[in-house]
Structure 1
Amino acid sequence: MKNALIILLVFALAPLAHAATVLSNAHIHTLDPQQPNATAMAWDDDGEIVALGEASALLARYPEAQRIDAGGAVLVPGLIDAHAHLMGLAMALSGVDLVGASSKAEVVQRLQRFAADLPPGEWLRGRGWDQNRWPDTAFPTAADLDAAFPERPVWLERVDGHAGWANSAAMRAVGRDLDGDWQPDGGRIERVDGKASGVFVDGAAVLVDAVVPPPSDALRARALEAALALAARNGLTGLHDMGVSLADLALYRRFADAGKLSLRVTAYADGDAAALAALCAMGPYRHASGRLGMAGVKLYADGALGSRGAALLADYSDDPHNRGLLVTEPEALQTAMVKARECGLQVATHAIGDRGNRIVLDAYQAVLGDAAASNHRWRIEHAQIVAPGDIARFKTLNVIASMQPTHATSDMPWAEARVGAERLFGAYAWQRFIAAGVRLALGSDFPVEQVDPRLGLYAAVSRQDRDGQPTGGWLPGQRLSAGEALRGFTRDAAYAGFAENTVGTLKPGYRADFVLLDGDPLSVAPRAVVDLKVRSTWVDGEAVYRIPAR
């Protein structure tokens, strides 16, 4: 009894955890099942949460803390994009934006406006074209660009990042004969009567990429600053960056060293290349700030559906005799997976078509063996078209399905034409994955889609475009609830990056990463989610974005 009293006395006299800041007058969704809601939150000087609860109690407990009145805003855990391309966004912001162009003529007009300020001879680069939006949905050709740009090389990345469109000047710069019937590994040169037409799919695009002058270090740094600012404005506090080179990691590290990396970057090495070799030689990388780490590798199985490069088990419904592309041969894919396994790294593999997904599942099963039951958290990125019988294998192998809600709403106008009605049963099948016990991590794949996670939340719960079409949603049985969607961009995204004990949830001991919104994403009508305003974005208890005062 005496010992018990001593212990109680010690705890009673122990100082409370220090709180530098108390935020109150908020409607807080913690996503912590033990304490799902609060009206106030306190964190210390290091940006670690020390308490959540009612405002009166926290203000009384920490009378010396700085006070922030949230003005009745809704506070949610910081949003995490589980599949993105940060430097891809950065470079897209420095080139011609072709997203939404409704015709080849509009593409050329945008290019001409941008080229007016370019020095003579400099390459004209852009991204975002999508022939599926045009009256003529066939691939464009070099001739469509040559009249406006007979001498200046033009190289334009398709919206999905899996094809490029070149003019004749760009093709001449390649310095080799692109005609004939040969094809590069993992890619396809589109040809008309044996002549290269100007479109290069997947691995073929490397032929042109190799001769494009690289951007300067100064341009890359400016572009990264712009990309980080855009992410913060949209409420992102973290992202999983898929396919990061050593050069990109070095740039991120310089930003982190300077305190300029305004969100958490969970980086995945760019395939079986130098970054993976460095990880195997030196072990997983983690920056002291907690803002940057690399402990995984991104691999590619197939291409994309929009450019008919996704690997299918049967022919494309709208392109007989075409079953897509394997960007990486299965043997090479397994070799890279074995290397990652032996180096203790997480594997995330791009697979869109049903054949691509089956190849990856087969490879995971072969490489993991009995370790499939372990906490490996290997992932399949996209998992867009999956044979129904393969969905349960994700659960059996403990594989995370990393999916992007806006891919479904971008692809829905033409997806059935690509794969037919029967294969849609396993297409963008979020609820079927959940019913099988598979964990979903949600993202955007920006710059393929827009950065804004509110668009992802809306697409997840509605499966409609921004005009509310189709009525009731496309394949509506696969819609997510608002809670499932928010978890996919917070708790479950954090889990997919081995960060669920520090971010994705608001609770003591976790980082003070959060977003203040002017409405509640869990209760507003689905379409209203898109219009919610981000009042501010916080990382480590510091505001990295505040909405400008009117």
Structure 2
Amino acid sequence: MKKAIRISLLALGAGMALGLPAHAAPTLVESVQGYTLQQDKVTRFTGLVFDQGKVLATGDAAALRAQYPGAQRIDGQGKTLLPGLIDAHGHVFRLGFKTTEISLSGTRTLAEAQGMIRAYGDKNPQRKWLLGYGWNQVNWKLGRFPTAAELDAAVSDRPVRLVRVDGHAAWLNTKALQAAGITRDTRDPAGGRIERDASGNPTGVLVDKAMALVNNVIPPYSDDDRRAALAAALAHMNALGLTAAGDAGVTVAEDRIYREFADQGKLTTRIYGMIRDTGDDFKALSAKGPLSGYGNDRYYLRAVKLYGDGALGSRGAALMAPYSDDHVHSGLLFMSDAAMQTAVKTAIKAGYQVNIHAIGDATNHQVLDAMEAAYKDVGGRELRNRVEHAQVIALPDIPRFKSLDLIASMQPTHATSDMNMAEDRVGKDRIKGAYAWQTLLRQGTVIAGGSDFPVESANPFYGLHAAVTRTDHEGRPIKGWHAEEAMTLPQAFRAFTLDAAYAEHQEKTLGSLEPGKWADFILVDQDLFKVKPADIWKTQVLETWVAGERVYVKDGKR
């Protein structure tokens, strides 16, 4: 009998990178503390066998050595092995573009942000427009939006557009306002708002659909820009242990690059694409119907992403009653009830799953009504339609998620990021139906875990930590923010694995390490099920494997 060959992960990865012939024998990863979901329970194993990119078995490593005597053996060195994690809702190209733009994430004051913007402008004199993201006036404790004049103080010689942390407002300097032709005579577009001073003059912030006024005059990205952004995003996701991600809003140009990367074997994180809206992109991309399994299951395009409202932080989320901290505004519905129902039916009739951004209780109610109407008129319940964010829900509407078989696609870090202002925005009564994970789970609603990156960090261990603790990384508040809605660790683990796969119609091939599924797995530096919940966010990914091939190793070595 041929003696089993004991090799290191690094050596195996090097052989694959060089394009060496694949071994006929299966591969056994042994000496691991493995966890996966099996028959609705978290099960443990010490060995994993895979062949031709798919799982053959998990179990006791010694027994697997006897069962597969000719297998190549990889020493896991006692590390923890988990199924590859899945982010059900992110923005992949935006994540990649972040690498070249101004990042104001984490800034604590307006002055700090101004300094960073000024420094970026000085280092990038060749850029005709300065673009960036991540500002949050709540963290700056301004009590208002920043102004064009304050941005002019940092850069005034060329246009600057900076998108708020939630992606639902843009901060412009005077040059950008002028380039967009925005004056006191410019009317607010439907679903958007131009912030104005007492005299009606634009102050420099555009909310929700008003952002299109400036977006339309910014020079478009080229395909080379998109290729660079996608490569950067994939590398980032690989390093965080994400083996699959849902891209919430794919355009024709982005679809083209995804297919190109899949054809070239470069799509190292599986992508579940959602076509952006039911307009021109949908008409072009849906001509041949939903796409599944492209490039050996690396790319799917079988969903549509609709947009119902804005976000809480910019008071663009549509509420049934005015904001508790701003009695003049109740947010912005992006579509009328009739338009929403038409869009839902259009997507369903074409065979696409419908995933709708809904933050405020008014929007969630509108979405529920639209889904109910669509099921009566055109069917589509079996498509596993989703509400993206499902953030603030009127208590009587929560049971409708179950009765309509809707998946709640939710991002746990939104709760811990928003806890500094969410209750101020909606008050003590409405907060009872906000970020209500445990309430939804108890009634049997599936929650697909995600991050909404780059609005939040793409690190899924941050999401697992937030889901279980409802605290920030410093452990605040001590007992957790509305801790009654926290998930258990098995629930959170499932949300970022098997239920995220279910939400993407891929639970038979992804989400757990069971025979016949893709060998998508990660090795991490601590046992997720033994560390203190407060330390979950500190987990470091050591290696990421997709279809039995290693796509990432920390620091380039074991």
> TM bucket by the smaller chain?
over 0.9
Q: 1:141 aligns with which of 128, 137, 147?
A: 147
Q: What corresponds to 1:488 in structure 2?
A: 495
Q: What corresponds to 1:115 in structure 2?
A: 121
**CA distance in structure 2 between the partners assigned to 1:464 and 1:481 by the alignment:** 14
CA deviation vs aligned residue, 1:423-475 (integer Å, no higher than 9, x gap): 11001010110122111111000000001000000000000011100010000
* Farther off after superposition, 357-366 or 524-533: 524-533
When residues 253 and 84 of structure 1 are mapped into structure 2, their CA distance, relative to the original with a 3 A threshold, is: same
Where do 1:96-245 residues align within 5 Å?
96-120=102-126, 122-175=128-181, 177-180=182-185, 182-192=187-197, 193-245=199-251
When residues 477 and 372 of structure 1 are mapped into structure 2, their CA distance, relative to the original with a 3 A threshold, is: farther
User: Could you say what secondary structure the match of 2:296 adopts?
Assistant: coil
**Cα shift at 1:328:** 2.3
When residues 294 and 367 of structure 1 are mapped into structure 2, their CA distance, relative to the original with a 3 A threshold, is: same
**CA distance in structure 2 between the partners assigned to 1:153 and 1:225 by the alignment:** 27
Residue type of the partner of 1:235?
A: G
**Cα shift at 1:219:** 2.6
Unaligned runs of 5+ in 1: 1-17
Runs of 4+ displaced beyond 3 Å: 370-374
Residue type of the partner of 2:542?
A: R
Q: 2:99 aligns with which of 93, 111, 114?
A: 93
CA deviation vs aligned residue, 1:26-70 (integer Å, no higher than 9, x gap): 11112112782221111112x011112211221222222221111
Q: Is 1:461 aligned to residue 468 of structure 2?
A: yes
Contact kept in structure 2, 1:302 and 1:350, CA below 8 Å: yes
Q: What corresponds to 2:9 in structure 1?
A: none
**CA distance in structure 1 between the partners assigned to 2:100 and 2:113 by the alignment:** 16
**Cα shift at 1:137:** 2.6
When residues 281 and 219 of structure 1 are mapped into structure 2, their CA distance, relative to the original with a 3 A threshold, is: closer
User: Could you say what secondary structure the match of 2:37 adopts?
Assistant: coil
Q: What corresponds to 2:279 in structure 1?
A: 273
Contact kept in structure 2, 1:535 and 1:546, CA below 8 Å: yes
User: Could you say what secondary structure the match of 1:392 adopts?
Assistant: helix
Unaligned runs of 5+ in 2: 1-23
CA deviation vs aligned residue, 1:378-428 (integer Å, no higher than 9, x gap): 000001100011000000000000110000000001111101111110010
Contact kept in structure 1, 2:117 and 2:155, CA below 8 Å: no
Q: What corresponds to 1:260 in structure 2?
A: 266
CA deviation vs aligned residue, 1:123-158 (integer Å, no higher than 9, x gap): 011100000101313100100011332221000000
Where do 1:433-472 residues align within 5 Å?
433-472=440-479
Q: Is 1:296 aligned to residue 306 of structure 2?
A: no
Q: Is 1:414 aligned to residue 415 of structure 2?
A: no
Residue type of the partner of 2:154?
A: A
* Farther off after superposition, 218-227 or 151-160: 218-227
**CA distance in structure 2 between the partners assigned to 1:371 and 1:190 by the alignment:** 40
Residue type of the partner of 2:187?
A: W
User: Could you say what secondary structure the match of 2:254 adopts?
Assistant: helix
Q: 1:392 aligns with which of 389, 395, 399?
A: 399
Q: 1:401 aligns with which of 387, 408, 424?
A: 408
Residue type of the partner of 2:77?
A: G
- Aligned CA RMSD, in angstroms, stands at 1.5
**Cα shift at 1:20:** 2.2
**CA distance in structure 2 between the partners assigned to 1:214 and 1:90 by the alignment:** 15
Residue type of the partner of 2:462?
A: L
Where do 1:9-158 residues align within 5 Å?
19-33=25-39, 36-45=43-52, 47-120=53-126, 122-158=128-164
**Cα shift at 1:111:** 1.1
Q: Is 1:319 aligned to residue 319 of structure 2?
A: no
Q: What corresponds to 2:14 in structure 1?
A: none
Q: 2:545 aligns with which of 534, 538, 541?
A: 538
**Cα shift at 1:105:** 1.3
CA deviation vs aligned residue, 1:492-533 (integer Å, no higher than 9, x gap): 000000000000011100000111112221221112111122
Residue type of the partner of 1:30?
A: T
**Cα shift at 1:94:** 1.5
**Cα shift at 1:279:** 4.1
* Farther off after superposition, 143-152 or 75-84: 143-152
**CA distance in structure 1 between the partners assigned to 2:421 and 2:381 by the alignment:** 39
Residue type of the partner of 1:170?
A: A
Report the identity percentage: 47
TM, length-normalised to structure 2: 0.93
Residue type of the partner of 2:209?
A: G
Q: What corresponds to 1:474 in structure 2?
A: 481
User: Could you say what secondary structure the match of 2:287 adopts?
Assistant: helix
When residues 370 and 148 of structure 1 are mapped into structure 2, their CA distance, relative to the original with a 3 A threshold, is: closer
**CA distance in structure 2 between the partners assigned to 1:248 and 1:449 by the alignment:** 21
Contact kept in structure 2, 1:80 and 1:236, CA below 8 Å: yes
**CA distance in structure 1 between the partners assigned to 2:65 and 2:538 by the alignment:** 32
Q: What corresponds to 1:4 in structure 2?
A: none
User: Could you say what secondary structure the match of 1:390 adopts?
Assistant: helix
Residue type of the partner of 1:24?
A: E
TM, length-normalised to structure 1: 0.94
Q: What corresponds to 1:431 in structure 2?
A: 438
Q: What corresponds to 2:504 in structure 1?
A: 497
Q: What corresponds to 1:307 in structure 2?
A: 314
Residue type of the partner of 1:178?
A: T
Residue type of the partner of 2:266?
A: K
CA deviation vs aligned residue, 1:75-99 (integer Å, no higher than 9, x gap): 1111000110001111122201110
Residue type of the partner of 1:72?
A: G
Contact kept in structure 2, 1:239 and 1:266, CA below 8 Å: yes
**CA distance in structure 1 between the partners assigned to 2:46 and 2:127 by the alignment:** 59
**CA distance in structure 1 between the partners assigned to 2:503 and 2:75 by the alignment:** 33
CA deviation vs aligned residue, 1:306-326 (integer Å, no higher than 9, x gap): 000000001101111211001
User: Could you say what secondary structure the match of 1:303 adopts?
Assistant: coil
Q: 1:547 aligns with which of 532, 551, 554?
A: 554
**Cα shift at 1:284:** 1.1
Contact kept in structure 2, 1:279 and 1:295, CA below 8 Å: no
**CA distance in structure 2 between the partners assigned to 1:172 and 1:123 by the alignment:** 13
**CA distance in structure 1 between the partners assigned to 2:470 and 2:57 by the alignment:** 37
Residue type of the partner of 1:90?
A: G
**CA distance in structure 1 between the partners assigned to 2:127 and 2:63 by the alignment:** 66
User: Could you say what secondary structure the match of 2:354 adopts?
Assistant: strand
When residues 445 and 478 of structure 1 are mapped into structure 2, their CA distance, relative to the original with a 3 A threshold, is: same
Q: How many correspondences in the alignment?
A: 531
Residue type of the partner of 2:496?
A: F
**Cα shift at 1:373:** 8.5
Q: 2:526 aligns with which of 515, 519, 528?
A: 519
Residue type of the partner of 1:189?
A: I
